[in-house]
Each structure stands twice: as structure tokens, then as C-alpha cells.
Amino acid sequence: MELKDLSYLLVVRETAHLGNAAQALGITQPALTKCIQRLEKSCATRLILKVGRGIKLTEAGLLLCERAQKVLHLMQVTRQDLNALGSGAAGVIRLGVAATAAEFMLPHLTRELLQRAPTVVLEVQVGMNDLLQSRLREDRLDLILGFLPEENHEFATRPLTEDSVVVAASSFHPLAGVHPTPAQLDQFQWLLPSPQVATRQWLEQRLRSGGYAPPRVQMESNTLSPLRQVLAQTQLLSFLSRRLLHEDMTQHALVEIPLPLVMMPRTFGWQFRSLSELTPAARLLVDLAEKRWQW
């Protein structure tokens, strides 16, 4: 079983079409068909089935793709590590970052990393914790820099610093400076992440427990940080990191709505599968963060 054949199979899975896969790989379709046949002979089972004009993977094909992705990544990491030993290069770090951490932690961390390892390559994905954890689980990320869930037995964690999430709105909002009653808060609609996101679930639970109505969501987004100007120019409420509000204080665009009931404390830090799986470059990044934010 050749690594090249496994990498070709992953492209077949992505395209669900042999012709399109062959075109993407820059080879002929007969050559790609022979590759699949070699794999099927090696595995002694069918890996793909024709479906109309396309194809789909069998259960065996899906399993082989899952394992192939891990094998190919491990080989890539091994090559990077060997090259790093010979040339001083630091390799590639696949980093998932929460939007808040991307704003107030990643710039400092990137500067320090590039000073220590100037040839490192950072592949950064910014997103909500549930999406990033899914990609870490699938071995599509090496590390997550973001808030740490209270109950997490799946990944190794390293706490770095604390932050709070608070109700936020435009500085011209009718509730600015007001500790709102349930009736006052219910007059306004919200900009929030999807219902699957832990911060929104926490907010809804706390509001209910305090006798407030659930938030009436008018706008949803997979990330809130870039939408602060939407808040600044509307009467929507949101649930944002207090650090982001402090960054906006010079513009006086956003304010915290004083509602201690729903001030959500949280800890920012690292999540990863295991320390032994991290590349030298990823371990360096972890060490630099722990020196800067001493927990």
C-alpha cells in the first residue's frame, strides 16, 4: 500500500467523482482507476461504488480514508521534524483559535514564535469552540487556543489566563448604564452564536434561572468578534468578551450592560490530544504561551 495511492483516495473522497479527482491530481482517469484497484487488491475489499455519474465510498473506503489521513499527517510531521533537525526549520502548526483569543492573544504569541522560529508556518483557523474541537478530534488541528470548557475529559488542557463574557450593546443603547429588569431586557433582540455553542447555552440557562425570558435572537453568526460594528450601529444586544469591550473603549462604541447574573467567567488556554503528539514547533508555541501568561 503506497502513500501516494492513499493520498489519491482522499481526493476521490473530496470530489466524489473519479474524473474530477483525476483532474485535480493532474493525472489521467485510467491511472487513478489503477490506483484504486491497487488499494482494493491490497485491502481485499471494494473501496468505492458507482452512483449515477459519481461515486461513493464503501464503509471500508471511509475507514481507510480516516486512517490514511492520520498516516499521511504523521508522515508529513515526520518529514518536517527531520528537516527541522537538519535545517533549523520549525515546520507547520495547525492552530485553531477562538475569535477573542485571535485578537488579544495571538498577535503577541505570533511575534514571539517568529522571533524564535522564523521559518515556522502557521495554518490558523478561527472559529467557535465546538467547530474547533471537532477538527481537533478529526486530527485536522494540532492545537486549540481558546476558552476551556468546564467539563472536558477528551483533550489535554493547559490554562493560561482568565476572561469574562458579558452582555454588550452600543454606547447609545437605551439600556446603556441600566441594570435591566426582565421586562426591559425583553424589549430588545440579540446577536448571538448558534444554539449549539456553549456560551449561548450558558446565557440562556442563566437568564431563565433569574426570571428573564430567553433571548429573542434576530441575528446569528459563527463568530461575533468581527460584528462589533453591527452592535455599535443597532439596538441589538450580544454576549461578548469583556476584553473586546475594553479594546473598543477608545472609540466609545460599545458598553457593558450591568447584569451580574449573566457575567460568565471563563479560562483561556490550550487544548490538544496529547503532548506526545505535538510537533516540536507546536510544543514551542505551547511553552511560549505558558511563559507569557503564567497561570
Lowest mean pLDDT among 127-141, 249-263, 267-281: 249-263
- Helix 3-15 and helix 29-43, axial crossing angle in degrees, nearest 10: 110
Which residue in this structure is represented by grid cell 517568529? Answer: 114
Stretch 160-169: mean pLDDT, rounded? 91
pLDDT at 152 over 80: no
Mean pLDDT of the chain: 87
Query: Tell me: the pLDDT tens digits for 8-64?
Result: 888 888 888 888 888 888 888 888 888 888 888 888 889 888 888 888 888 888 888
217/186 Cα distance (integer angstroms): 11
240/292 Cα distance (integer angstroms): 24
Give the list of residues 6+ apart from residue 109 with CB closer than 8 angstroms, or none. 145, 285, 288, 289, 292
* Confidence (pLDDT) at 286: 92
Q: Tell me the three cell numbers of residue 202.
A: 450558558
* Confidence (pLDDT) at 217: 94
Tell me the pLDDT band of 88, cut-offs 50, 70 and 90: very low
pLDDT at 119 over 50: yes
List, in order of start, the domains of the chain with CATH numbers: 3-75 (1.10.10.10), 83-161+267-292 (3.40.190.10), 164-265 (3.40.190.290)
Tell me the pLDDT band of 176, cut-offs 50, 70 and 90: very high
* Confidence (pLDDT) at 178: 92
pLDDT at 233 over 50: yes
pLDDT at 86 over 50: no
pTM above threshold 0.85: no
Tell me the pLDDT band of 159, cut-offs 50, 70 and 90: very high
Quick one: how far is CA 270 from the chain centroid? Answer: 12
Tell me the pLDDT band of 90, cut-offs 50, 70 and 90: low
* Confidence (pLDDT) at 71: 86
Quick one: how far is CA 188 from the chain centroid? Answer: 30
* Confidence (pLDDT) at 120: 85
Stretch 154-178: mean pLDDT, rounded? 92
DSSP E strand boundaries for the chain: 48-51, 54-57, 92-97, 121-126, 143-147, 156-170, 190-192, 217-220, 237-241, 254-256, 264-272
Task: Give 161: exposed, middle or buried? Use CB within 10 Å, 0-12, 13-18, 19+.
Answer: middle
Which residue in this structure is represented by grid cell 508555541? Answer: 285
* Confidence (pLDDT) at 84: 62
* Confidence (pLDDT) at 251: 62
